[in-house]
Amino acid sequence: AVYCSPLVADGRVLFGSHDGRFYCLNLDGEPLWMYSTWLEGFVKPALAGGRRGGAIWSSPALYRGLIYFGCENGLVYCLNFTDGVEVWVAETSGPIWSTPAVSDGIVYIGSKDGCLYAFDAFDGELLWSFRANGSIYSSPAVYGGLVVFGSLDGYVYCLEAHNGSLRWSFETVGPIYSSPAVADGRVYIGSEDGSIYCLDIDDGGLVWRLRLGAPVSSSPALADGNLYVASYDGRLYSVGANRLERRFPCHLILYSIVGNVYGAGSYRPGSVATFYVEPTIVEVEPGVRHVFKGWISNRVGSGYNGPNVTVSLVMDSAVIETANWRRECYIEIIVDPPEGGVVIPSSGWYESGSYVRIEARANPGYRFKGFIGEGEGSYTGCEDCVTLHVLSPIVERAVFERVPPWIRFRWWISLLLAIPVLWLFRRLLPRLGG
């Protein structure tokens, strides 16, 4: 498999492969030479702890008759363009997917170890390295004595090309896989936060930010004053680099598991889109319903997150809005007989997964016998105060029974029976004492 981009120069096509080999072909596809990173006995065999070979993700760069590329084994290779003979090999501490940039006799390349390296283009001597706070997949761009690249820590870095000192850094909201394009004092780069950034090359100041709504891992390309970039939404965007003119409509996508959503479609940038859902309460089966809670957007800042049913939104990018619903189940409380007592709380809708505490209270002349429950999470038993786990529709029958009269008046009956006994005891007590 081939994942890198080929280099075409002087009637030759050069590229690396996932098999760890680097190929040179003529324009008819005939092999001219091949170099294997798995070969034993290269110039510095002790490099990288004796590592040999690896997949080649890095695209090659050509400079003064020499070919440069990085490898998954963490090594940077320099080969002769004519015959593929190895000139030098240099070491980093992590796999390399970044494509090298070569300028003024220096090779700049990033590594997944989080460092950007600068090597002498002719002998591979390490000149300097700069450590970011995340892996570097981004390929550096060299412009006016500066080196610019992105990192998975979400920052764009600008270094002095001659010594690697930091000129400035700019933080985006997401990791950066994209490689920068630089022209006319402007840096253009994409971010996984779904935006394209335009920065001032001198101080890293934000010139503009264009939100596309989906991660931008691709690298921008400049041609005829326009910026071209692809996004994870499957679209290619063309932007007037100076005018920030988008030539594609903004798409509003609406999702909902129940009900009907209205307002989805394509909108002109800057126009207002109004969307809503109805109905806001949908009974999906007996005793189960969904109640609208609000909208959840895939966009931070430009989308809408909130409880309003109807929303008006100024469209400046692609937006996905998802209707959020709360599932509720009905708890039916039956008092048997109705005059026997009460249950608190009474029948009603409750959020699925919640816990509801119910208590039975008998009316005078009645006593509570127990609950008879139906449904998942219900209760059957003689406790008068219980907690239900609402997992499905529940029916709880509270059974009361009338208290027999002799029980209700048992204290009076006991007292009346005790009076003759006490009288007799008082009459007999003196005789027993004599």
**What would the pLDDT profile of 157-172 be if each residue is shown by its tens digit?**
999 999 999 999 999 9
Q: Coil, helix or strand for 405? A: helix
Residue 334 CA, chain-centre distance (Å), reads 46
Which range, of 240-244, 262-266, 284-288, averages the lowest pLDDT?
A: 240-244
Q: Report if residue 147 sits inside a domain.
A: no
Asked if 348 and 308 sit in the same domain, the reply is no
- For the entire predicted model, the pTM comes to 0.57
Inter-residue contact 226 to 220 (CB < 8 Å): no
Task: Tell whether the model's pLDDT for residue 117 goes beyond 50.
Answer: yes
Question: Residue 81 falls within a domain, yes or no?
Answer: yes
Cα gap 371→246, rounded to integer Å: 66
Tell me what pLDDT residue 44 has: 40
Cross-strand pairs, 405: none
88 and 18 part of one domain: yes
Q: What is the DSSP string of 217-260?
A: -SPPEEETTEEEEE-TTS-EEEEETTT--B-SPEEEEEE-SSSE
Instruction: Dump pLDDT digits (tens) for 289-300.
Output: 999 999 999 875
Domain enclosing residue 57, as ranges: 1-131
pLDDT band at 409 (very low <50, low <70, confident <90, very high): low
Query: What per-residue confidence (pLDDT) applies to 38?
Result: 83
Q: Is the pLDDT of residue 279 over 80?
A: yes
Q: Which of 248, 274, 293 is the last residue of a domain?
A: 248
Residue 418 in any domain: the answer is no
Mean pLDDT, rounded, for 271-279: 92
pLDDT given for residue 413 in this prediction: 57
Could you report the per-residue pLDDT of 234-257, keeping only the tens digit for each? 899 888 766 554 555 678 999 999
pLDDT of residue 434: 54
Read off the tokens for 232: 């994870």
Q: Which amino acid is located at 121 in the chain?
A: A
The yes-or-no verdict on residue 45 having pLDDT over 50 is no
Q: What is the pLDDT of residues 335-377, one digit of tens each?
A: 999 999 999 999 999 999 999 999 999 999 899 999 999 999 9
In a domain, 257, yes or no: yes
- Residues 305 and 398 reside in one and the same domain: no
2 with 106, same domain? Answer: yes
Mean pLDDT of the chain: 89
Same domain assignment for residues 261 and 367: no
**What is the per-residue pLDDT for 49?**
47
Regarding whether 321 and 221 lie in a shared domain, the answer is no
Lowest model confidence (mean pLDDT) among 72-76, 205-209, 299-303: 299-303
pLDDT at position 403 is 86
Task: Please count the structural domains in the chain.
Answer: 4
Using DSSP's 3-state secondary structure scheme, residue 404 falls into coil
* pLDDT for position 296: 94
| Same domain, residue pair 184 and 227 | yes
> Are 127 and 1 in a shared domain?
yes
Question: Are 10 and 65 within one domain?
Answer: yes
Task: Report the range of poorest mean pLDDT among 13-27, 30-44, 199-213, 216-230.
Answer: 30-44
Q: Do 44 and 167 belong together in one domain?
A: no
